[in-house]
Structure 1
Amino acid sequence: MQYFDVVILGAGFGGSLTALLLDRIGLSVALIDRGKHPRFSIGESSTPAAGYLLQSLSQKYDLPQFQPFCKYGTWQQACPDIACGVKRGFSYFVHQPGLRFQTGAAHCSELLVTANLSETLADTHWYRADVDEFFAKEVQKSNVLYLDQTEILLQRTDVWKISGSRNDEGVSLQAAFLIDASGAASLVPRALGIRPQTEFATRSRAMYGHFRDVQLWGEVLEQSQVDRSDYPFACDLAALHHVLQEGWMWQLRFNNGITSAGFVLDERQDTLDWQQMLARYPAIEAQFAKATVVAPEAGLVTTGRLQRGWSESAGADWALLPHTAGFIDPLHSTGIAQTLCGIERLVSVLEQHWKKDSRRKPLANYSDSLMKERALIDRLVACCYRSRFDFELFTASTLFYFAAATSFEHQRGQEQKQPIFLCADDSEFVRTVDRWLQLVSEYEQQSPVAKTAIRQEVEQAERMLAPWNRVGLFQPEVPNMYYYTAAPEMEPR
């Protein structure tokens, strides 16, 4: 039986990166995964905070091979064979059932929010099949024991005992500390009987896959003679959101010809399938007229309710990475940045408190921080769902997320503070989001609402967010076109 300081379950990019960081601080580490790479995983988008965090971790722990992934330009120079996509920011377009896309004065159906100044400096869409495989291969070059295609059972005594099989051969390990990076599988909390969280403000489910030959949304707009001359960037070079009566659709384009796309639907409304959704929205249906599903092999994925979470995320000898601790919704592209933020905190705790009784309190703080982050993300997402009946109100709701994201970036980069993700430990900001959620929830029940009332509430939102509005939210020179919102480029410490 082999003994390790830490065993990590799950070899996505988060589990692999954590293994390499712990190896760098001198701990003995094993990384176990039930599958193998490359494998399908839905596309994800990075953000300025994600790029900063990855660069910071790469520098601090001497892992320069990951620094190119912080920006699109350096990624293409160093690793052009690893697929990704350009993400200049976020773009949103609201649709009405049965009608082709229409806009009007002041971009009343469009919202573009820029996150970076150029394509070279852009964030990226991660084609996870390639990215996760690269991270896992780096693990295999290190001192970390890497076991893929391994089925395991967990037993907890004075140490963790991990037994199972790999290629018909027995596996038997012991570990002083266990990290669960298995995502929804959540092996550790299930083994420990941790109570799941069941109350969420957001209620959504998804249908998604990877496609080829999805027409550019910009081409559809051109065919409809929609003026794009004052867009701050090409609308497809973004996390593209179609805002719908039933929920919304994401589109992320990779440079290998594949597009990640999915409908995320409000569970409070009637269930529709993929074809029914396309048929409801002619402009989106036109985008997919020639599209074919290329992954996963079994066809489109249809989920149940997306929201999940655990009441505890760490103990004296175990911890969950953020995506295992819980998940809300892909609306605000929070996954990569939150994972990196959690890894940074957890590795720091183990580095400073390994073999010390003092690690109990910082691990409890780590668990508490994940709960706070999840609660805030839940409310920020729910605000958008509850306000999508009116695009002006929906736009104001998205700015609560952008205020949180840019405040986090500013505090990390300019003030050299270390708030938890999205400043979820700022109690006044959390109360402000709660007040806005209550307001838009009330208006949703009253819909339709007079435009004069909507405008008054948007003005109130601007006043509410004033303490966290560092980048000119609510006052773009061109209506709904934000040419730059990220905090100044952050320099890692």
Structure 2
Amino acid sequence: MERQTCDVAIIGAGPAGSVAAALLKRQGFNVCVLEKQHFPRFVIGESLLPHCMEFIEAAGFLPAVEAEPGFQFKNGAAFTWGNRYTEIDFTDKFSNGPGTTFQVRRDRFDQILIEEAAKQGVDVRFGESVTAFDAETACLTVETERGENYILQAKFVLDASGYGRVLPRLLDLDTPSDLPPRQAHFTHIDDNISDSEFDRNKILISTHPQYRDVWLWLIPFADNRCSIGVVGLPERFENMENSEQIVKRYAAEVPMLARVLANANWDNEMPFRCITGYSANVKALYGKHFALLGNAAEFLDPVFSSGVTIAMHSAKLACDVLGKQLRGEEADWETEFVQPLMSGVDAFRTYVNGWYDGRFQDVIYADEQRTPEITRMISAILAGYAWDTDNPYVAKSERRLAALAETVGPAELR
């Protein structure tokens, strides 16, 4: 079998893989990206957070992303529940860093990133799957779409395969998530929104008027399209025929969505899709010759659009540690990768759990009862700055959320 070599092999050409590839190439390493699919390809995770822009810029991708006319400028998040409506402005936040970003069609976004990485000299191979991995030697068995096999000998492997979770499957690293197995049903629509109260510069997150554990996203793009989806436990969707019926029914039951989507065209080339049990976790984030990035390691929930941010943040941390290791310098994956990465993931986890148990919803929908400083701290977290431990709502997330939720009281009683 043919044998090839590289310094770093990266599995997956999504945002984490593209950012990692560019950052490592800029450090002078020979990088090979293996991607099973061909781009463009559909994927969700379309509403970026401002913190992402720091990694996009560091990787050299920012000019190409800003030049894409189909990406919708984004400066915050809006929330609605019944007749309640509140906005969070990401430009008015506690943490330093960008306050704006984009809402993107991921097929185009991911393609731009990996094309820019290739322009920088990264070896990108589409239609190639990893079928085996020797964790002791960093040796990959790769199968091409023509059915041919070869060995890729790397010094280190980064798994950025997202939901494909290649190394967790091959190395039996998967472990059950502590989050319930929810479902997401979604599609794209021609929104035809003319309502002046609707802000296309923000993702709209809607709490179902009856079931507070069910929520919907509406992500506007720049071309009269929106991504729309509904998330909930499987039992909430029982006795409904398919994803189309589920999305349309729940959207119609949210007053603001029913109003702004009154002229929407639901019948286009985009099918309705469903993802079930998307939350994931692993036994270990790294080994002797590998590390897991983004969704390949852990995925929480789509409610605050944290997936791409966590993926890119993990890529940056991993590349910093790996660069030192490959140069023969001292590198500690536990203290320089796992611990700093999980500090932000755990902060996000606090607010995901708080959303579903109602405490964080109580805070969000109590806009008039939050002080401006607390609102700025919450804004920073929702903008992706969940690693800023100077923010008390990051450093002591569980305690601070519990205290704040008790202060504002249950939303139903207001």
Contact 2:141 2:149 in 1 (8 A): no
Q: Which residue of 1 aligns with 2:23?
A: 21
Gaps of 5+ in 1: 70-74, 96-101, 103-108, 223-227, 229-233, 410-419, 452-493
Task: State yes or no: 1:341 paired with 2:313.
Answer: yes
Q: Which residue of 2 aligns with 1:6?
A: 8
CA distance in 2 between counterparts of 1:9 and 1:84 reads: 26
Letter in 2 for 1:188: L
Structure 1 pair 408/128, CA: closer, same or farther in 2 (3 Å)? Answer: closer
Task: Work out which of the residue numbers 206, 210, 221 in structure 2 matches 1:254.
Answer: 221
CA distance in 2 between counterparts of 1:115 and 1:308 reads: 28
Contact 1:93 1:241 in 2 (8 A): yes
Structure-1-length-normalised TM-score:
0.69
CA distance in 1 between counterparts of 2:228 and 2:397 reads: 29
Structure-2-length-normalised TM-score:
0.81
Contact 2:216 2:251 in 1 (8 A): no
Q: Which residue of 2 aligns with 1:403?
A: 377
Measured after TM superposition, the shift of residue 356 of structure 1 is 3.3
SS at match of 1:44: coil
Letter in 2 for 1:422: A
Contact 1:40 1:295 in 2 (8 A): no
- The superposition leaves residues 393-447 of structure 1 with CA deviations (integer Å, 9 ceiling, x where unpaired) of 64469997962563798xxxxxxxxxx951376797567432366679999xx97
Q: Which residue of 1 aligns with 2:171?
A: 192
Letter in 1 for 2:76: G
Q: How does 1:31-430 map to 2 (within 5 A)?
A: 31-55=33-57, 57-58=58-59, 63=60, 65-67=61-63, 69=65, 75=66, 78-80=67-69, 83-95=70-82, 102=83, 109-116=84-91, 122-156=100-134, 157-200=136-179, 204-212=182-190, 214-216=191-193, 219=195, 235-244=199-208, 245-246=210-211, 247-266=214-233, 269=236, 271=238, 273-281=246-254, 283-285=256-258, 287=261, 290-292=264-266, 294=268, 296=270, 299-354=271-326, 356=328, 358-359=330-331, 361-363=332-334, 365-387=336-358, 394-395=365-366, 403=377, 406=380, 422-423=386-387, 429=393
SS at match of 1:20: helix
Measured after TM superposition, the shift of residue 263 of structure 1 is 0.9
Measured after TM superposition, the shift of residue 450 of structure 1 is 4.3
Q: How many residues matched? A: 392
Letter in 1 for 2:5: Y
Between stretches 396-405 and 173-182, larger displacement belongs to 396-405
Letter in 2 for 1:354: L
CA distance in 1 between counterparts of 2:366 and 2:337 reads: 32
SS at match of 1:312: coil
Measured after TM superposition, the shift of residue 3 of structure 1 is 0.9
Contact 1:152 1:163 in 2 (8 A): yes
SS at match of 2:386: helix
- The superposition leaves residues 238-287 of structure 1 with CA deviations (integer Å, 9 ceiling, x where unpaired) of 11112213321111111133211111225575646223323433553451
Measured after TM superposition, the shift of residue 92 of structure 1 is 1.2
Contact 2:351 2:360 in 1 (8 A): no
Structure 1 pair 79/269, CA: closer, same or farther in 2 (3 Å)? Answer: closer
CA distance in 1 between counterparts of 2:297 and 2:267 reads: 30
CA distance in 2 between counterparts of 1:16 and 1:318 reads: 17
Between stretches 278-287 and 423-432, larger displacement belongs to 423-432
Task: Work out which of the residue numbers 26, 32, 43 in structure 2 matches 1:30.
Answer: 32
SS at match of 1:303: strand
Between stretches 241-250 and 396-405, larger displacement belongs to 396-405
CA distance in 2 between counterparts of 1:145 and 1:392 reads: 47
CA distance in 2 between counterparts of 1:38 and 1:294 reads: 19
Gaps of 5+ in 2: 93-97, 241-245
Measured after TM superposition, the shift of residue 137 of structure 1 is 2.0
Contact 1:91 1:111 in 2 (8 A): yes
CA distance in 2 between counterparts of 1:67 and 1:406 reads: 24
Letter in 2 for 1:128: R
SS at match of 1:54: helix
Letter in 2 for 1:92: F
CA distance in 1 between counterparts of 2:162 and 2:321 reads: 21
Contact 2:138 2:290 in 1 (8 A): no
Measured after TM superposition, the shift of residue 348 of structure 1 is 1.1
CA distance in 1 between counterparts of 2:200 and 2:316 reads: 32
SS at match of 1:240: strand
Contact 1:211 1:294 in 2 (8 A): yes
Between stretches 361-370 and 121-130, larger displacement belongs to 361-370
CA distance in 2 between counterparts of 1:43 and 1:5 reads: 30
